[in-house]
Structure 1
Amino acid sequence: MVAGSHAHGRGIRGRSWLGWQFVGPFMVVFALVFLAPIAYSIYLSLYRTRLIGGTAFVGIENYTKVLQDPQFWAAFGRVAAFLAVQVPIMLFLALLVALAIDSGRLYGAAFFRISVFLPYAVPAVVATLMWGFMYGTQFGLVGNINEAFGASLPDPLSPDLILASIGNIVTWEFVGYNMLIIYSALRVVNPSLYEAAEIDGAGQLRIIWAIKLPALRGALVIATIFSIIGSFQLFNEPSILKTVAPNAITTYFTPNVYAYSLSFEGQQYNYSATVAIVMGVITMVIAYAVQLRGMRKGS
């Protein structure tokens, strides 16, 4: 009996080590490419390099400075306004497309689905360069329209319209991605629910409202969280458009652009790391709050 229990204990320990052998390579890569950079950024944020005295430990002084930095809060306010307008428009369009494809009444649904998703396969740099060229009033599509028709279209790269122009690029890129998330959720709904609703006399709008939208709650929460994270990480589009719209995009246009400018243009690596960490914490808190709110509504 005792020998059997010892053998059983060795078997459990053997299985536990076998599990670690499977997940070990992933944990090593995860630690190197995810945990280590975060730890190093936190380490950098606790120091400051001065012209006189060199690098010195300053504790939370950099964090206090960020929280009082008007340029950081201007950048944060800009991406918050961008998020509040662009994300609902993008998710609404993605929802409409997903519902249209799922309805079975759309001619060429497979072609339409791949066409909407295709912009997501275009790298952000290429998409921004393409749209930046079309936005140009001197060399692009807007300029050609003005010249051909004698029109005077507003400059999409002006300071007043640059955020809306970036929102158009991001929407064009990610409507298809969010559509796929929503459409995948629709495909797992039991078709018998639709049949029962039609037998009871429910129309398509009633089916959407009573069956499809409740089934999409989890997918919409996921898409919203991804979109929030993406909005707060906004970097590629403004940094590329800065070359053609230098007067509209400042060094603190978004928090990521601000952190990049501090690090690579101002050589303020410690403060740049602090800005990145503060922005990461804010993003994490807001995304977690959205998730909790979505789960409460789901329950």
Structure 2
Amino acid sequence: MAIEADRRRPVTTPEAARGAAPRAPRFGRRPGSPRTGATKGLLFSVPYIVGFLAVYVIPVGYTIVRGLYRQQRSGLGFGPARSVFVGLGNFVKIFHDGLFWTGLLRVALFGAVEIPIMLGLALLLALLLDGITARAVRLFRVGYLIPYVVPSVVAALIWLYLYSPEVSPINSTARHVGVTIDFFGPVTTYLTLGNVLVWEQIGFNMILIYSALQAIPRELYEAARIDGASERRIAWSIKIPNLRPVLVFTGMFSVINALQLLTEPFVLRLVGWKSISKDFTPMQMIYNAASAEGNYEYAAAMSTVLAVVTGILAFVFYRLTNRKVTA
């Protein structure tokens, strides 16, 4: 009985006996305090913050600042070059540069045709891939993804061989029926270049769309089949409406990639495709200004303007397409 009474007796501390508040832990804070959780969250975020500053904020800031200067030589242009602050002088020059805005408009119109075709084919392939067996899915998925893995330079050289008038298997086959195809003409240039870009991008976008298809509940398909809906009706009324968010996502990034077009036209022009001018895209102009002319300040200003225009167009595209999604 004495032992049971000792167990029931409340445990007291010297602070409780004196009526004082209990002492706080000597080291650190309570594990569940909000400030401790915020500190841990900040520590876990430090690597991301450092990387974000190193690869994004600092380079962008340096580019903007570099665009505010201009190289000036003393002694009638024969002296040493020095950077001179010109404020918005380079940006004013860009707004009066007709070649830059012509190239930007050319790329925008080119993307307005190429992007819907590429996404439409990627959607069609994803829908076809969703209807075959799992073993065949792996085979076709890898096959369609290979063009995306191939570097852009290699892809341009592959299609240059296929378009070449002398060794092209397409032209050699067409000559047997008395037809000669000029892939390097002023009009066919856009078609052939668009074919290269569609071949490179279709596999990656198809994988994204196919992954979104797998997230749609299969019960919706079963209910539709019970109601007598055909596979075509299920695809049109169930699958495609549920794919609109991923189509908006892929479309927005395709717009960004189109405005940054550089490798394919640069390589094709480098090997003799003269129907593509050196000012075909804004990225080619930036490259020429920095490498050929050594005008890094003007190239930095063009990069800043192109980034702003790209952000505006991507935002407008997102708002317009997202409105359809939420409707």
Both proteins in one fold, TM over 0.5: yes
In structure 1, C-alpha distance between the alignment counterparts of 2:66 and 2:48, rounded to whole Å: 26
Residues 106-255 of structure 1: matches in 2 within 5 Å? 108-142=136-170, 144-145=172-173, 149=176, 151-255=178-282
Higher Cα Rg, which structure: 2
Q: TM-score, normalised by structure 1?
A: 0.91
The CA RMSD measured in Å over matched residues stands at 2.4
Q: Any stretches of 5+ residues in structure 1 without a counterpart?
A: none
Give the paired residue count. Answer: 298
| Comparing 99-108 and 229-238, the one that deviates more | 99-108
SS of corresponding position for 1:242: helix
Distance in structure 2 (CA, Å) of the matches to 1:35 and 1:64:
24
Note if 1:38 corresponds to 2:65. Answer: no
Compute the displacement of 1:231 (Å).
0.5
Distance 2:144 2:151 in 1: 15
Name which of structure 1's ranges 63-72 and 238-247 shifts more when overlaid on structure 2: 238-247
- Alignment pair present for 1:88 and 2:83: no
TM-score normalised per structure 2: 0.84
Q: Are the aligned partners of 2:29 and 2:36 in contact in 1 as well (CA < 8 Å)?
A: no
C-alpha distance in 1 between matches for 2:297 and 2:56? 19
In the alignment, the residues of structure 2 paired with residue 217 and residue 291 of structure 1 have an alpha-carbon distance, to the nearest angstrom, of 12
Q: Displacement, 1:213?
A: 1.1
Higher share of residues assigned helix: 1
The amino acid across from 2:319 in the alignment is L
Q: Which amino acid aligns with 1:73?
A: W
Q: Deviations over 1:11-43 (max 9, x none)?
A: 433332322222212221221122111111101
Residue 74 of structure 1 and its aligned partner are, at CA, apart by 1.4
Q: Distance in 2 between matches of 1:244 and 1:155?
A: 17
SS in 2 for 1:49: strand
- Check the 8 A contact 1:119/1:176 in 2, yes or no: yes
In structure 2, which of residues 292, 301, 318 is the aligned counterpart of residue 274 of structure 1? 301
The answer to whether 1:51 aligns with 2:79 is: no
TM-fit CA distance, 1:186: 0.6
CA distance in 2, matches of 1:60, 1:287: 25
What fraction of aligned residue pairs are identical, expressed as a percent? Answer: 36
In structure 1, the residue matched to 2:47 is: 25
Q: In the superposition, relative to structure 1, how do residues 106 and 188 fare at CA in structure 2: closer, same or farther (>3 Å)?
A: closer
Question: 1:102-124: CA deviations, max 9, x gaps?
Answer: 12379933322221122111111
What is the CA-CA distance between 1:296 and the residue it aligns to?
2.0
Which residue does 1:77 correspond to in 2? 105
Query: Which segment is superposed worse, 69-78 or 158-167?
Result: 158-167
Distance in 2 separating the partners of 1:287 and 1:236: 21
> Structure 2: how far apart are the matches of 1:2 and 1:284?
57
Query: 1:13 — aligned with what?
Result: 35
